[in-house]
Amino acid sequence: MTSRTKGSQGSRRWLRTRAFGLHVSTVALLAACVTINVYFPAAEAQEAAKQFVEKVIGDQGQPAQPSPEAPKPDTPKPESKNPGGMALEFHFDPLMLVGIGQASAQEPDFKLNSPAIQAIESRIDARFDSNLRDGFQAGALGFSNDGLVVVRDASKLGLKDRVATNAAVADDNRDRKALYREAAVANGHPEWEAQIRKVFAKQWIAAARPGWWYQDASGGWKQK
């Protein structure tokens, strides 16, 4: 999203978390009526990443479902709105007839809801339970500091599992890279990719279970 409406909830939340941004944005809004969002919406991105990560790590064996609390545009409403006056003038609203309502005006500033991202999420979620969770539990896998999964100690796995795990980790990292890239592009800022990676890396590590391994900022491995 490149524009920011004055009353949007997401905007308010973001502004609360960044007091300095409040002043700058408000001044900009009042002075020039130009709303430019050049900041990375860190709080929203973190919230979205947190939901994503908790869904993957949190519930074992559950396929990914669109998050119920994620704001969605209005669902279509079957009843027509004020068609009365149109009859005589042959005015009508085709979109209303198609049954499509107005999308919500209150959009958060960071979304992870494109079909491609949801497809990636389903795969990451399913793969985590079928191939990767045991590897983390065994200490063979770890979360890297750039948001990927790394085979940090293959000796913790049997030879057969090692081959399957190598493949699953390669597949997962392809999905993860695509996720971070698509999240940036879908939100209109390809240049956010690195920041989104960092946010996700932090969330994967935050959601890691006790005993799981992760890489700290300097690249060293630590056990949670």
Window contacting another protein (CB under 8 A); options: 9-17, 46-54, 186-194, 211-219: 186-194
Q: How many residues in the shown chain lie near another protein by CB under 8 A?
A: 62
Window contacting another protein (CB under 8 A); options: 37-45, 47-55, 94-102, 194-202: 94-102
166 near another protein, judged by CB under 8 A: yes
21 near another protein, judged by CB under 8 A: no
For another protein, give the closer residue by CB, 92 or 206: 92
Bridge-partner residues for 41, per DSSP? none
For another protein, give the closer residue by CB, 21 or 101: 101
Q: What is the widest separation between alpha-carbon atoms in the chain? A: 79
φ, ψ dihedrals at 112, nearest 5°: -130, 50
72 near another protein, judged by CB under 8 A: yes
For another protein, give the closer residue by CB, 133 or 189: 189
| Residue 20 Cβ vs another protein, minimum distance, rounded to whole Å | 26
Q: In this structure, what token pair is assigned to residue 13?
A: 């939340």
Which residues, at least 6 apart from 57, have a Cβ–Cβ distance to it below 8 Å? 128, 204, 207, 208, 209
Q: In this structure, what token pair is assigned to residue 4?
A: 């920011």
87 near another protein, judged by CB under 8 A: yes
Which residues, at least 6 apart from 122, have a Cβ–Cβ distance to it below 8 Å? 63, 64
One-letter amino acid for residue 146 of the chain:
D
For another protein, the binding residue among 45, 53, 55, 111 (CB under 8 A) is 111
β-bridge pairing 149-151 and 141-143: antiparallel
Report d(CA 136, CA 152) in Å as an integer. Answer: 10
For another protein, give the closer residue by CB, 60 or 160: 160
107 near another protein, judged by CB under 8 A: yes
Q: What is the DSSP string of 193-213?
A: HHHHHHHHHHHHHHHPPTT-E
Pick the closest to residue 121 from 187, 180, 41 (CA basis): 180
175 near another protein, judged by CB under 8 A: yes
126 near another protein, judged by CB under 8 A: no
Residues in contact with another protein by CB under 8 A are 1, 72-76, 78-83, 86-87, 89-105, 107, 111, 113-116, 119-120, 153-155, 157-160, 162-163, 166-167, 170-171, 174-175, 177-178, 181-182, 185-188
